[in-house]
Chain A
Amino acid sequence: SQQGEEDPQALSIQEGENATMNCSYKTSINNLQWYRQNSGRGLVHLILIRSNEREKHSGRLRVTLDTSKKSSSLLITASRAADTASYFCATTGTASKLTFGTGTRLQVTL
């Protein structure tokens, strides 16, 4: 079953704009990760944020985590056409397995 729900399901922006995707989850977590999937390809790990962290940066990526609201956001700044992909949040709880959300399809147009 899905642990996370991404919002929005689809997002279309122009190159140079910022893209924000949100993820909500249901149970307590140890960490939350964001993955990217290009069409027809496997998933690629982007960034991990632990439950005791509130914000993390990696290049043009900024992730926030609010454990009280059971939510996370992924911000991609100065988007590029190459950022077009689906983005998934994934959570790890007390078990070792990683449970994925439903994903946000991002389209960046020139």
Chain B
Amino acid sequence: DAGVIQSPRHEVTEMGQEVTLRCKPISGHNSLFWYRQTMMRGLELLIYFNNNVPIDDSGMPEDRFSAKMPNASFSTLKIQPSEPRDSAVYFCASRTGQDNSGNTIYFGEGSWLTVV
């Protein structure tokens, strides 16, 4: 099992540029989560999908952020335009099941974004 795969692992971009983060969940998992981690705010849930459908995007900071899941094996998180305060580690995670049974969530290694 390859685990949750994220790309890029590291990205440095200039303010105003578009950033696209990619995620491949574990095969067979039907829930996918995007988290953001910063020193100041800790781990924040941005959005999660069940069966490719966005369920809760209340954590998306603003309209500059968007996420898609066109199929069960791929998701993107896009920031346009990027700002320095978007600098953070962005984690993708996936899980089987869509209820609150507590099935283990598996995290990717994160995408380290720096906006200068």
Contacts and interface: CB of A to CB of B under 8 A. Distances in A.
Contact of B45 (A33, A50, A97): A97
Given A43-B107, A103-B42, A92 B100 contact: yes
Contact of A97 (B56, B91, B101): B56
Nearest to B45: A97
B102 A100 contact: no
Interface in B91-116: 91, 93, 98-102, 104-110
Given A97-B48, A97-B56, A45 B105 contact: yes
Interface residues of B, number: 25
B55 A96 contact: yes
Q: State which size class the interface on A falls in.
A: 20 to 34
A75 interface: no
Contact of A96 (B4, B99, B104): B99
B43 interface: yes
B62 to A, nearest CB: 16
B interface majority secondary structure: strand
Given A33-B102, A42-B91, A97 B42 contact: no
Contacts of B50: 96
B105 A42 contact: no
A90 B100 CA distance: 12
Interface in B53-104: 55-56, 91, 93, 98-102, 104
Contacts of A95: 56, 100
A18 to B, nearest CB: 25
Contacts of A98: 33, 45, 105
Given A95-B56, A96-B50, A97-B33, A50 B42 contact: no
17 contacts: A30-B102, A31-B101, A41-B109, A42-B4, A42-B107, A43-B91, A43-B107, A45-B105, A92-B100, A92-B102, A93-B100, A95-B100, A96-B31, A96-B48, A97-B56, A98-B105, A102-B42
Interface of A: 2, 30-31, 33, 41-45, 48, 50, 88, 92-103
